[in-house]
Amino acid sequence: MSAPAPATTATEETDAAGFTADWRRWHRQRLQGLSAPHGFLAITDLHWLTSDPTRYDGIPGQWWVTHDWLFVDLGTDESLFLNGMPVSGVQRLGSIAERDGFNLGHGETIIEVAKRGGKYILRPRNPQNPLLQEFNGVPAYTPDPRWRIAGAYRRFDQPRTTLVGAAVEGIERVYESPGEVVFELDGETHTLTAFNGHTEGTLNILFTDATSGKTTYAANRSLVVDVPGEDGIVVLDFNWAVNLPCAFTDLATCPLPPAENRLAVAIEAGEKTPFERSVD
pLDDT tens for each residue of 231-265: 999 999 999 999 999 999 999 999 999 999 999 99
Identity (one letter) of the amino acid at 263?
A: L
| Cβ neighbours of residue 250 closer than 8 Å, sequence gap 6 or more | none
Q: How would residue 64 be classed by pLDDT, with cut points 50, 70 and 90? A: very high
**Do the Cβ atoms of 110 and 103 come closer than 8 Å?**
yes
Which pLDDT score is estimated for 248?
96
Q: Where are the domains of the chain?
A: 45-125, 138-277
Q: pLDDT tens for residues 191-244?
A: 999 999 988 999 999 999 999 999 999 999 999 999 998 899 999 999 999 999
Q: Can you list the alpha helix ranges (DSSP code H) found in 119-249?
A: 130-133
**Residue 169: pLDDT band by 50, 70, 90 thresholds?**
confident
How far is residue 270's CA from residue 197's CA, in Å, rounded to a whole number?
A: 18
- What's the pTM? 0.89
